[in-house]
Amino acid sequence: MTDLLVIANGRFQRGWTGRRWDRVAVRLRELFGDGVEISFTCRRGDATQYARQALVAGVGWLAAAGGDGTIHEVVNGYFEKDRNIQPKSPLSFLPCGSGNDWVRTLGLPVDLFQAVEALAHASPHLVDVGHARFQGLQGTVEERVFLNVAEAGVGGRMTAGKGVAGWLPAGRLGYRLCSLATALSHRPQCLQLIIDGTTGLATGPILSLIVAGGRYFGGGMHCAPMARPDDGLLETITLGNFGWAEILLKIGGFFSGSYLDDPKVSHRSVRSLEAISGEEVYLELDGELAGTLPATFTVLRHSLRLRY
């Protein structure tokens, strides 16, 4: 019987990381016994399917091995709309992505072998999960949860393939350069926000709307230093109409978190948020393209059990 299922991004079977997985598997079984199983994904959506099947079958502990996209898929395996189907089954993380933004919020090791060793001393924690209801890419209303950050605007445009990633290097550096290049070319858009039921708050034009449960996104941007994953709140941040020269001058502040002092940036801690626009505004969840606005975001307090 499987006691711990590790759901790993299939691309890590290849290359340098792939050569380390045999050692990872041996060490996991030394620590937790023969009930450890590793399943590699083959395509987008597999991690959600594997997680759902395992939880329904009664597997008591899952671990997501990959980057923020893999974590996003596994977490969505736990949830049917806004309900966790197995709230007693914990989730752990073995980071081997390029950004690893969520595990930075938790203060976990970003080295794969150190993360494996840390599991031996892991303890349970209840954290919040964000729930999004939005317009999907096929035009129908969809629902999905997110653990780290939802973003509408320049980040959504980049994940929609509207950026300039083709000529950039792969990995974390390429992601950061693509984010910068897309921000420089992005046309700010106007939004209307309904915060905790208060209607008619107009914002715009803005580069980005960030709805954060975690503190980092975009390959290390310290977008929400105040965020706590267990406080029942989502941190809502809007980046105003920055010109290209301002973006270049403030890029360091965007990654350090000091950008929040800028008068073109506003921040609110909220429990619910609705975002509407008369324009096509792309939405990404945990770095994965989800759809477009309009979207409604709510916090599901203490709805996911982690083990770290």
Encode pLDDT of 26-56 as tens digits.
Answer: 999 999 999 999 999 999 999 999 999 999 9
Q: Which residues in 137-281 belong to E strands, given as ranges?
A: 141-146, 149-153, 189-195, 198-206, 208-212, 234-239, 265-270, 272-276
124 class by beta-carbon count within 10 Å (0-12 exposed, 13-18 middle, 19+ buried): exposed
Residue 164 confidence (pLDDT) above 70 = no
How much is the pTM?
A: 0.91
Residue 8, beta-bridge partner list: 40, 65
Residue 207 confidence (pLDDT) above 70 = yes
pLDDT at res. 15 = 63
What is the band of 200 on the pLDDT scale with cuts at 50, 70, 90?
A: low
Give the rounded percent of residues in the chain with a pLDDT score beyond 70: 89
| CATH code that applies to domain 129-302 | 2.60.200.40
Tens digit of each residue's pLDDT (9 = 90 or more) over 13-32: 776 566 788 899 999 999 99
Largest Cα–Cα separation, the chain: 58
pLDDT at res. 213 = 98
Average pLDDT, the chain: 89
pLDDT at res. 168 = 44
Q: Is the peptide bond before 205 cis (omega within 30 degrees of 0)?
A: yes
Mean pLDDT of 148-159: 89
Structure tokens, 74:
């596994």
| CATH code that applies to domain 4-122 | 3.40.50.10330
Q: How do the domains of the chain map onto residue ranges?
A: 4-122, 129-302
**Residues found in the chain:** 308
